[in-house]
């Protein structure tokens, strides 16, 4: 074998290394946000120190949890300042004067709203028996501080945005009648305004804002809330643990323990598809914290494991139904034995409305016959494949032609298909499997059916990383489990994908007991030797797949000779028989 299998220890976080770091982080009083959101903190500092620009744009998914968490960070980061307080004084009915309250100063505060109406923002007038009273809005309360609003909310109410923009530029809040046909019957002095405005929104909302307000967008301070962060140093691990603990405290939940953090680390890697990149999204974390507490009334490893198991079971009806069909006796998918021109590929299904994707094995077959050298992609000809899949097919054909070094056209025609696939196939993650099944059909050498293969291939024979790796491996493991584990089954995957692994407990246990295996490969040669127990190229061509294929090509290109010559007895006997 040219590639060793992954050990089960390589599939889970190093608990011995992480446990003391998490223990220190959980006992710290810091929020941990300093090293997790450095760009955000720098933008907040710029907003505070810049006397010219009062606008900060932040790319952030507009969820109430995210906006609330942002407001907390802004409030903790901004220095404490005192601001003057103003109040309306009414010496007589429907007469108002604006007065600065002597000796009444308050700290600047941060106010936020994910959705707000005009009267809530600017205030409104109430009337009782002919007596009018001004009711202050959120903008009045935020005077001297910071106001966080949704870009989508403002774009949906253009008149409100125009008034807000005008108030901020003129440093005053005027009173308007909600009905432009009916002016305010009384005079109310304008309210002085000094406020920093933070607008948050998705990338689409900010793009629309840029189209409507190109100058304002170009001159505003801009940053993005990072959804994930690369966690590699000791301090970053401790900060991440501190952030988790601070979020649990904010939700009035029990403090998490080290076991909870270790289990959360695995789920975090699965969310990001990278072992050293963790989510720093409050919405994601709150979901895990709430589910774990509901499962065990505490935040421990067992409570989180139980919550995740319950969640998977609730969401698994459709995947389980399809997996049972694939493992049924009438299915032609095989996880044992050998076949020429047949291999187990891996795909990922992500259906609209279903909360999670899942992996599904696919039987890829290839037939070769004498022809003009064309490799027929049946999916493409049936208009069931996308452009990226077609690109992958062209790449493996180019690699094969370069390896064979032919002076003329390949004397074979190949036909390749995803068997019983009725939906569109796209992506290049099956190109390694397609190349292997093509070489099997050309060399007439069988492929191990106990393997499933995933990986993209470049023109130089390098195996490139692919997406959805965890789901693909678990999908094939489920099929093998239902058909019976033999200890020989496993998945061939790109070596460059090893940093993306975060597998289920069932797969890890099977790998631990050597009932299931993972073979990382970096080149096509390594994958072919694993699948067919023959090297792609050796000094002795008779013992290599390349040599066997070249020999078949040479035989196919030899001219066909008639039996016997001009004076052969059989020739004259056949001629006499015609009479």
CB-side exposure of 305: number of CA atoms within 13 Å? 10
Per-residue pLDDT tens digits of the chain, which is 579 residues long: 446 889 988 888 888 899 999 999 988 777 777 778 889 999 999 999 988 889 999 999 888 888 988 998 898 888 877 877 888 888 888 888 888 876 555 667 899 998 999 989 998 888 787 788 888 999 999 988 899 999 999 999 999 999 999 999 999 999 887 777 778 888 888 899 999 999 999 999 999 999 999 999 999 999 999 899 999 899 999 999 999 999 999 899 999 999 999 999 999 999 998 888 999 989 999 999 999 999 999 999 999 999 999 999 999 998 888 888 888 788 888 889 999 999 999 999 888 888 889 998 999 999 988 887 788 878 877 777 788 888 888 898 888 888 888 777 778 888 888 888 767 788 888 899 999 999 999 999 999 999 999 999 999 999 999 999 999 999 999 999 999 999 999 999 999 999 899 999 999 999 999 999 999 999 999 999 999 999 998 877 678 898 888 888 888 777 655 555 555 555 545 545 554
Out of 242, 472, 481, 502, pick the active-site residue.
472
State pTM to two decimals.
0.84
Q: What angle do CA 441, 443, 447 make, to 5 degrees?
A: 60
Residue 50: helix, strand or coil by DSSP?
coil
Choose, from 31, 269, 305, 429, the residue flagged as catalytic.
Answer: 429
472 among known catalytic residues? yes
Domains of the chain with CATH codes? 12-30+231-314 (1.10.8.60), 38-224 (3.40.50.300), 324-555 (3.30.230.10)
Q: Is the dihedral of CA 382, 388, 394, 399 positive or negative?
A: negative
Helix axes 258-272, 282-296, angle to 10 degrees: 130
Tokens matching residue 430 = 């099956």
SS3 string of 179-225? CCCCCCCCCCCCEECCCEEEEEECHHHHHHHHHHCHHHHHHCEEEEC
CA–CA separation, 38 vs 444, rounded Å?
58
């Amino acid at each position: 074998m040219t590639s060793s299998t992954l050990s089960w220890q390589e599939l889970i976080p190093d608990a011995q290394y992480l446990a003391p770091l998490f223990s220190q982080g959980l006992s710290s009083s810091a929020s941990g946000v300093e090293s997790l959101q450095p760009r955000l903190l720098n933008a907040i500092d710029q907003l505070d120190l810049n006397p010219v620009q009062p606008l900060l744009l932040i790319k952030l998914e507009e969820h109430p949890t995210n906006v609330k968490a942002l407001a907390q960070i802004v409030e903790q980061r901004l220095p404490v300042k005192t601001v003057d307080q103003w109040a309306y004084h009414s010496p007589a009915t429907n007469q108002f004067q604006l007065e600065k309250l002597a000796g009444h100063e308050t700290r600047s505060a941060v106010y936020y709203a994910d959705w707000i109406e005009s009267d809530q923002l600017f205030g409104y007038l109430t009337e009782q028996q002919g007596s009018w009273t001004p009711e202050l809005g959120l903008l009045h309360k935020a005077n001297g501080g910071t106001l966080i609003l949704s870009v989508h909310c403002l774009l949906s109410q253009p008149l409100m945005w125009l008034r807000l923009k005008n108030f901020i530029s003129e440093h005053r809040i005027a009173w308007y009648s909600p009905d432009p046909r009916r002016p305010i019957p009384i005079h109310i002095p304008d309210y002085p305004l000094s406020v920093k405005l933070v607008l948050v929104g998705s990338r689409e909302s900010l793009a629309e804002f840029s189209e409507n307000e190109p100058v304002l967008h170009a001159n505003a301070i801009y940053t993005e809330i990072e959804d994930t962060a690369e966690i590699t140093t000791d301090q970053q691990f401790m900060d991440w643990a501190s952030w988790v603990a601070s979020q649990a405290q904010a939700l009035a939940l029990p403090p998490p323990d080290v076991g909870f953090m270790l289990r959360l680390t695995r789920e975090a890697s699965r969310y990001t598809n990278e072992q050293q990149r963790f989510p720093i999204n409050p919405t994601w974390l709150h979901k895990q914290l709430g589910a774990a507490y509901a499962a065990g009334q505490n935040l421990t490893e067992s409570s989180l494991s139980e919550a995740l198991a319950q969640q998977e079971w609730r969401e698994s009806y459709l995947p389980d139904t399809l997996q049972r069909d694939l493992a049924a006796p009438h299915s032609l998918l095989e996880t044992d034995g050998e076949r020429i021109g047949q291999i187990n590929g891996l795909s990922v299904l992500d259906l609209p409305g279903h909360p999670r994707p899942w992996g599904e094995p696919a039987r890829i077959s290839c037939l070769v016959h004498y022809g003009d050298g064309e490799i027929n992609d049946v999916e493409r000809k049936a208009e069931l494949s996308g452009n990226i899949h077609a690109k992958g097919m062209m790449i493996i054909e180019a690699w094969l032609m370069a390896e064979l070094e032919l002076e003329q056209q390949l004397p074979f025609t190949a036909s390749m298909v995803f068997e019983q696939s009725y939906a569109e196939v796209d992506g290049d993650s099956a190109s390694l499997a397609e190349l292997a099944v093509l070489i099997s059909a050309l060399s007439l050498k069988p492929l191990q059916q106990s393997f499933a293969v995933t990986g993209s291939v470049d023109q130089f024979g390098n195996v490139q990383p692919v997406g959805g790796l965890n789901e693909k491996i678990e999908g094939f493991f489920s099929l093998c489990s239902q058909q019976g584990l033999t200890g020989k089954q496993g998945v061939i995957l790109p070596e460059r994908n090893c940093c993306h692994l975060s597998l289920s407990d069932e797969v890890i246990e099977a790998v631990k007991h050597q009932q299931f295996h993972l073979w990382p490969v970096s080149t096509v040669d390594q994958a072919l030797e694993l699948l067919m127990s023959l090297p792609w190229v050796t000094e002795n061509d008779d013992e290599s797949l390349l040599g066997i294929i070249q020999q078949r090509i040479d035989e196919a290109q030899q001219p066909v000779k008639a039996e016997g010559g001009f004076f052969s007895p059989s020739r004259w006997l056949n001629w006499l028989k015609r009479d």
